[in-house]
Amino acid sequence: MPELARFELFALRIPLKAPFITSLGALHEVESVILRATARDGLVGWGECNPFWPINGETQETGLAVGKHLANALIGMEAGAIEEAHAVMDRLIFGNSSIKSAFDIALHDIAAQQAGMSLHRFLGGSANRALITDYTVSLGAPEKMAADARSIVREGFRVVKVKLGGAPEEDIRRVSAIREAIGDPVPLRIDANQGWTPQQAIVVLNALGDANIQHCEEPIPRWQFMELRRVREASPIPIMADESCFDHRDAERLIALGACDRFNIKLGKSGGLHKARKIIALAEQAGMEVQIGGFLESRLAWTAAAHLALTSDAVRYCDMDTPLMFASNPVQGGISYGPGGVITLPEAPGLGASLDPACQQGGIEVT
């Protein structure tokens, strides 16, 4: 396996078509870090992260700063020594899972290219099923959310994700308005983004128990994970751990506590594909289903997430819609979206996605 010779870090800023609003706040543009890794034999791997301040405590600026230190530490290592690379990164600095995920993706890209295999096949997966994403309704007034949900269904999406986490009575009205607008057959997924207290969560989830909801993501603050089992046992709706499950160690603890029914895996939380696969392995052992989600990454990082989704039958849900919210697409290749939210992956060796050359200006180079 070739040694790593050079890294380049690029700051990516792309406006959104409309504000993306959750209980954690509103976003109007994407601020990501793109990584290009070059091996001594000339192979190039790409990675990306979208630092999400309220969840992983990282910003674009910290990603660029920490990324320089990580790059210096990894220069000269074999591109395929991914577990060793994680050990080096974790010894160097605690946390910073977002920027670490960009390095992880880029190293996997090089390793899969070296093997002459698409990334999902390199990871032991196969394109044995369709990947279908939901589409998200931002938090807002019930009437606005209902109108947005109606538009999403008219566009052919088969599942609607709904951002909640406000006052319980208002959240119940939001879902009721959406159901009135789109009818009962279209499944919903709800996400409180830690917005409720345990008791509020129990009240809301029971009020929505017959609303054809597949699951509820992170109903309560992540630091209250010891209360999550109580919410789960009182809820008619399956509970999905998101912010309370960053890596495989969190997953192991939540399984031991019986705290949740499902996991939402994001590469920017887990630190990349390597640790995400460890979460999936634990879920498989526990007979749990998982969702592959993310932050507001471009199609570059989402292509890695989609490859991951094809590595296990435990992956039953895809929440991969955010590139459709971008005002422009900065990526060459990568995943494509078809009618009904059906996702198509490239079959080229490696990741199959790269940053558009027009966006490759002003990078930070580490050799």
Report the catalytic residues.
163, 191, 217, 242, 266
Beta-strand pair 25-39/4-22? antiparallel
Select from 203, 201, 207 the least CA-distant residue to 229.
201
DSSP track, 110-160: HHHHHHTSBHHHHTT----S-EEB-EEEPS--HHHHHHHHHHHHHTT-S-E
Q: How many residues does the chain have?
A: 367
Q: What is the DSSP letter of 221?
A: -
DSSP track, 285-350: HHT-EEEEE-SS--HHHHHHHHHHHTT-TTEEEE---GGGGBSS--EEES-EE-GGGEEE---SSB
Which residues, 6 or more positions from 235, have their beta carbon under 8 angstroms from its beta carbon? 201, 202, 205, 206, 209, 216, 219
State both tokens at 50.
């979208």
Q: Strand, helix or coil at 356?
A: coil
Instruction: Return phi, psi of residue 338, to 5°.
Output: -110, -175
Select from 178, 173, 165, 99 the least CA-distant residue to 137.
178
What does each C-alpha distance from 96 to 7, 27, 62, 181, 245 come to in angstroms? 18, 21, 9, 41, 15
Select from 244, 230, 294 the least CA-distant residue to 268.
294
